[in-house]
Structure 1
Amino acid sequence: MTNKNKIIILLLSIIMIGGVFFSFNIKNDKLFAIAKNLDIFASVIRELDSYYVDDIDPEELVTIGINAMLEELDPYTEYIPEENSDDFRMMTTGEYAGVGALIGNRIGTNMILMPYKGFPAQAGGLRIGDELLKVDSIDVREMGTPDISKLLKGPANTEVSIKVKRGDDTLAVNITRKKIVISNVPYYGMIDNETGYIKLTDFTTNAAADVRKALLDLKGQGATKMVLDVRDNPGGILKEAVEIVNLFIPKGKEVVKTKGKLASVNAVYKTEKSPVDKDIPLVVLINERSASASEIVAGALQDYDRAVLVGRKTFGKGLVQSTIPLSYNSQVKVTTAKYYIPSGRLIQAIDYSQKDEEGQGRTIPDSLRNEFKTKGGRIVRDGAGIEPDNLIATRSYAPITYSLVARGLVFDFANSFSRKHAEIAGPREFNVSDELYQEFVLWLKDKEYDYTTRVEKTIEDLEKYAEKEKYFEEIKNEIAQLKKSVNHNKEQDLVTFKSEIKDALKDELISRYYYQEGIVETSLDSDEDIQESLKVLSSHDQYAMLLKANSKKK
């Protein structure tokens, strides 16, 4: 049976079943409306298939229709067709069978962005920056990243041939696919003699076990203070978040509760085990890309005054999704509840039931945010994610640095450098010397990286408004003088912003030799948020003050 016939039969079956069901519930306007509109929808598909001038793909049209319908609700309710089931399973479990590499498109070129250490791609010799040409016999240069990813994945212990371009060379590599399990903790280690650091990037299966192992190992190395980093962590499995909180607070404490329309989704999640350490001074690093399960961990530890939160306000996702199986091995991920952390606050920052004139959910205004209290009496508020106890401003970069990174020039130089040098010093020992920086500056001589500074953009805007409002003739000489005064000099900017450009170079170069773990490790001595965490943990008085009632601003 063709997919087209399957779709039509499925829709007709739904309507027939709906018709029988709804014939006994005709007084229920909502259920009747569902049956009526399902009938209309199936009729439209059927008539399009019969009369539309060109052939149509009913499966594609239905998928588009479903996705458009779900987009009206919120960004997290989504349809998962059978062909995407493996990708969805990988996102929730962290497991798949493939070569173990992150791929992507940089400046119009499909390439290896990060081979995961210890997996087939890295063991087979693939490197960051290798341009993907073919997978087996299929030319992938013009393909999208998702399609290339599907070609690279496959049953464990099967072989795949990958042809890549590296500089001026073309290489063919045969790799045996393996079961890939991506750790939720890509790095942990000692920042100094007393302070342990754990980088938590996901909440897939075994996240709590990964953090527990790291915590115990670091304590064994002498850690008497701890930093848990959930910056940029998008969240994941709720149960893993509960168990991670349990590592630091006693058994029997509420971590989160879920409330929805159905009684079956209402639940209270409590800690069920004895903690690993309920007293060790703890900092949790958060930022604007910490979401969902990350916010549960940070928020619950804040509500119990168990940790000081350092960084920036989190994303604000307080919605819970459940996955419901559908016909033909498809699924739908549906927002079924909202979650509330121990103080009683909901951290959801956008109300999707209230849409603006562009159809977007509305941000909850400060006037409608409610006050709650932590266990020790500190004031916390709902409706805008989790706010840190110690706010760190977002670091800004000079336009030249943005240009060099965005145009892929820092990336390309790191590729060129790594092809010439077999090794460099370790992540915490390596630094970009002045000699190496000058090598980069010379390499840039024939490269295009022009940019507009913020001041130049402001003057351009001033000129446009002056012309629009008929003032230009009066101030054109002053504008010309301003332009002359602030006209940027790329060579001078390379000197003025040398320090931050060096930092960007260092990260890229470290990644070529020490991969994802190296990038994290090299940041331990320079990351502003981590350094602020050390200051908080080094001062007992400051740590205690931040956890003291009334120390939080309203």
Structure 2
Amino acid sequence: MEEEKKKFEIWQPFILALVLASGMLLGTKLDDQIPDHGLVQKKQGDEEWEKIISTIGYIRSRYDDDLNADSISIGAIEYLMEHLDPHSYFLGGLDHANFKDRMGGSYDGIGIEYEVLDDTVFLVGIMPNTPAEESGLEIGDCILAIDSHQVSGQNLGRRQAYEIWKSTGDVLQLTYLTSGDRHPQKTSISKRPIKVGSVPISLKLQEDLGYIRIAHFADRTYQDFMDSLGVLVDQNVNDLIIDVRDNPGGSFQEVVKILNQLISEEDVLMVYMDGKHLKRTEYRSTGKPFFRLDELVILVNEHSASASEVLAGVLQDLGRATIVGRRTFGKALVQEMYALGTDASLNLTVGKYYLPSGRFIQKTYSDRIAYDHELQDRMERGELMEADSVHLDSNLMVPDAQDVLRPVGQGVVPDIFVPLDSFTSIDPSSELSKRVRKELLKFYPQHREQIESLLHLPHFIEHTEIDTLATEFMMEIDLDESACPHDCKAEVRQLFTNGILKILGNEEGALRTRVQSDALLNSAINHVADDSGTQEL
């Protein structure tokens, strides 16, 4: 347990930041008009706001020195937002652009994934049918310079490298080094729109059981989900596992549309919103799903938040799905995005959402320090490892549609608890993970033909050649005790296999290798098998 706790402590802050930065968007007000202060009826506390407005006016008209209005305004806005709830925030510059790209489902680029390892920018992914693929770039190439900016050997972090990528024009001038080549090459690549999917994988797991993973809820998630579901139904899938683990949320409208495809009854209250300045709004089922599904299972964990909690909570309340995993994050605040010019925006909490039973699952945030450390507290209490360690307040319960008591203010508690396991807790920022990724980028180009030939073999990932390659890989990298303080051969093989599958763009193969190692996914598969009487995997 100490090993799992250490891994969780390292990985948790990144996921928390993603949850805080994603939230659940009710909508985007790109051209919303600022309320006319003179026409708004005065309320208690308006005098204090008048002081702020007057201060700005005096500074602009009377201050006798130079001002950096940009830094002052950003600092003032950030200070204001920090004193609101944890999910209201300011986005400016590259953060604003990145958020719009992610929610919009596309960005202007060349179609690569990169990672900064040991002060070197490595290409770790080349998307198919993109300018990068057409240019001849390959996985494992080292990017030395972007236009006139040196990027390798400059002690750059990932964010600094990202800022350089985003500052480029429509045509990139890349200087790069191919593995095994001592002479740098140069190429010019024109950008074009690159699609970013929020449904990275869907596949048929067994005879009538399908699987769809939703990474986040963006503007095209419903369409991507339906496209994937249609393919599975054509393959005679009747039961479905939807994986929203580590899903930080996103578009409220998209999750409502998906819910309508999973509830066959008409005019059923699915979710409603209410707020101080937001009139109660109910969302009811249309009763017109395109496909009929039998068993539904939703996979969740402590990093499933916001819109993903709506999906799980609504289906649980209505008795439509079995929730498998661990207690979710606990976020029930709803934001709207308001544009501040063309390169900045406010993500402002405008209301709360409630599940059909009236449940409000938002955990308390009156103590911000405690709120930021709440997931770590769960780990220290043993909640992620033992079902008996999940402490719920019996006085804060409401009955759902099946008269099952459900907790209020504590996220969505799963119907079937599955503890944190060694596979899902492999920390991508650990020395072992980084070492394996870096060495694999060197190993792959040298064994490209041998590795790619395995794709033509049935069930190639189970082929003995993979074990042979993994053994050869481990011998070549010669892991020392600092990177591998215990017998970590199984972890290295898993990282090696998943890394190879990622390089090959084989998400399905990567998932299939995880089925036996991923305790949570395995539990869901076995639950469906038990209910249907089919044979377990």
Contact kept in structure 2, 1:76 and 1:335, CA below 8 Å: yes
Query: How far off is 1:392 after superposition?
Result: 0.9
Corresponding residue SS for 1:514: coil
* 1:474-485 map, 5 Å: none
**Pair 1:382 & 2:415 matched:** no
* 1:430-469 map, 5 Å: 430-431=461-462, 433-445=466-478, 448-450=480-482
Q: Take 2:327 and 2:422, find their aligned partners in 1: how far apart are those partners?
A: 17
Q: Deviations over 1:382-404 (max 9, x none)?
A: 21211111111101379999897
Which residue of the partner structure matches residue 514 of structure 1? 505
- For residue 31 of structure 1, what is the amino acid of its counterpart? D
Q: Take 1:359 and 1:347, find their aligned partners in 2: how far apart are those partners?
A: 14
Give the counterpart of 1:33 among 29, 41, 48.
Answer: 48
Moved more, 405-414 or 145-154: 145-154
Query: How far off is 1:153 after superposition?
Result: 5.1
Q: Take 1:529 and 1:357, find their aligned partners in 2: how far apart are those partners?
A: 30
Which residue of the partner structure matches residue 397 of structure 2? 371
Which residue of the partner structure matches residue 296 of structure 2? 282
Q: Take 1:436 and 1:71, find their aligned partners in 2: how far apart are those partners?
A: 51
Q: Take 1:367 and 1:100, find their aligned partners in 2: how far apart are those partners?
A: 49
- For residue 201 of structure 1, what is the amino acid of its counterpart? A
Contact kept in structure 2, 1:100 and 1:119, CA below 8 Å: yes
Which residue of the partner structure matches residue 29 of structure 2? none
Query: How far off is 1:270 after superposition?
Result: 1.9
Which residue of the partner structure matches residue 344 of structure 1? 358
Which residue of the partner structure matches residue 454 of structure 2? 425
Structure-2 change in CA distance of 1:124 and 1:76 (3 Å): farther
- For residue 396 of structure 1, what is the amino acid of its counterpart? S
* 1:286-305 map, 5 Å: 286-305=300-319
**Pair 1:217 & 2:243 matched:** no
**Pair 1:523 & 2:537 matched:** no
Contact kept in structure 1, 2:424 and 2:518, CA below 8 Å: no
Q: Deviations over 1:144-170 (max 9, x none)?
A: 5455445545899x4322223344533
- For residue 533 of structure 1, what is the amino acid of its counterpart? A
Query: How far off is 1:501 after superposition?
Result: 2.6
Query: How far off is 1:321 after superposition?
Result: 0.3
Contact kept in structure 2, 1:154 and 1:177, CA below 8 Å: no
Q: Deviations over 1:262-281 (max 9, x none)?
A: 134x3112223501345411
Query: How far off is 1:325 after superposition?
Result: 3.1
Q: Take 1:542 and 1:72, find their aligned partners in 2: how far apart are those partners?
A: 54
Query: How far off is 1:335 after superposition?
Result: 0.5
**Pair 1:243 & 2:257 matched:** yes
Unaligned runs of 5+ in 2: 1-35, 378-390
TM-score of the two chains, using structure 1 as the length reference = 0.75
- Give the count of matched residue pairs: 475
Contact kept in structure 2, 1:231 and 1:285, CA below 8 Å: yes
Structure-2 change in CA distance of 1:189 and 1:148 (3 Å): same
**Pair 1:539 & 2:530 matched:** yes
Query: How far off is 1:509 after superposition?
Result: 1.8
Which residue of the partner structure matches residue 326 of structure 1? 340
Q: Take 1:249 and 1:357, find their aligned partners in 2: how far apart are those partners?
A: 39
TM-score of the two chains, using structure 2 as the length reference = 0.78
Q: Take 1:131 and 1:512, find their aligned partners in 2: how far apart are those partners?
A: 15
* 1:36-75 map, 5 Å: 36-41=51-56, 43=58, 50-51=64-65, 57-75=68-86
Q: Deviations over 1:36-79 (max 9, x none)?
A: 123235546778x745xxx7633113202211221122332122
Give the counterpart of 1:254 among 253, 266, 269.
Answer: 269
Q: Deviations over 1:401-458 (max 9, x none)?
A: 989754621112211221112215249522575433432332233x555169xxxxxx
Query: How far off is 1:259 after superposition?
Result: 1.2
**Pair 1:268 & 2:282 matched:** yes
Q: Take 2:124 and 2:342, find their aligned partners in 1: how far apart are those partners?
A: 35
Q: Name the Cα RMSD after superposition.
A: 3.6
Which residue of the partner structure matches residue 138 of structure 1? 149
Q: Take 1:398 and 1:224, find their aligned partners in 2: how far apart are those partners?
A: 27
Corresponding residue SS for 2:245: coil
Moved more, 288-297 or 73-82: 73-82
Query: How far off is 1:195 after superposition?
Result: 1.2
Structure-2 change in CA distance of 1:522 and 1:46 (3 Å): farther
Contact kept in structure 1, 2:203 and 2:232, CA below 8 Å: yes
- For residue 540 of structure 1, what is the amino acid of its counterpart? D
Q: Take 1:38 and 1:44, find their aligned partners in 2: how far apart are those partners?
A: 10
Q: Deviations over 1:493-522 (max 9, x none)?
A: 44xx42233112211122122255653454
Unaligned runs of 5+ in 1: 1-16, 453-489, 544-554
Structure-2 change in CA distance of 1:407 and 1:328 (3 Å): closer
Contact kept in structure 2, 1:325 and 1:332, CA below 8 Å: yes
Moved more, 331-340 or 422-431: 422-431
Give the counterpart of 1:310 among 297, 300, 324.
Answer: 324
Contact kept in structure 1, 2:238 and 2:293, CA below 8 Å: no
Corresponding residue SS for 1:233: coil
Q: Take 1:43 and 1:449, find their aligned partners in 2: how far apart are those partners?
A: 63
Which residue of the partner structure matches residue 188 of structure 2? 174
Structure-2 change in CA distance of 1:32 and 1:366 (3 Å): same
Moved more, 252-261 or 322-331: 322-331
Query: How far off is 1:296 after superposition?
Result: 0.7
Task: Pick the structure with more helix per residue.
Answer: 1
Structure-2 change in CA distance of 1:399 and 1:76 (3 Å): closer
Corresponding residue SS for 1:309: strand
Q: Deviations over 1:284-307 (max 9, x none)?
A: 111122111111111111111111
Q: Take 1:171 and 1:384, find their aligned partners in 2: how far apart are those partners?
A: 55
Give the counterpart of 1:78 among 80, 86, 89.
Answer: 89
Corresponding residue SS for 2:359: coil
**Pair 1:416 & 2:427 matched:** no
Which residue of the partner structure matches residue 501 of structure 1? 492
Q: Take 2:404 and 2:287, find their aligned partners in 1: how far apart are those partners?
A: 27
Structure-2 change in CA distance of 1:189 and 1:362 (3 Å): closer
Which residue of the partner structure matches residue 548 of structure 1? none
Give the counterpart of 2:421 among 370, 395, 403.
Answer: 395
- For residue 73 of structure 1, what is the amino acid of its counterpart? L
Identity within the alignment, %: 25
Which residue of the partner structure matches residue 173 of structure 2? 161
Corresponding residue SS for 1:179: strand
Contact kept in structure 2, 1:310 and 1:529, CA below 8 Å: yes
Q: Deviations over 1:307-346 (max 9, x none)?
A: 1111222111111001123356642110111111112111
- For residue 354 of structure 2, what is the amino acid of its counterpart? Y
- For residue 49 of structure 2, what is the amino acid of its counterpart? I
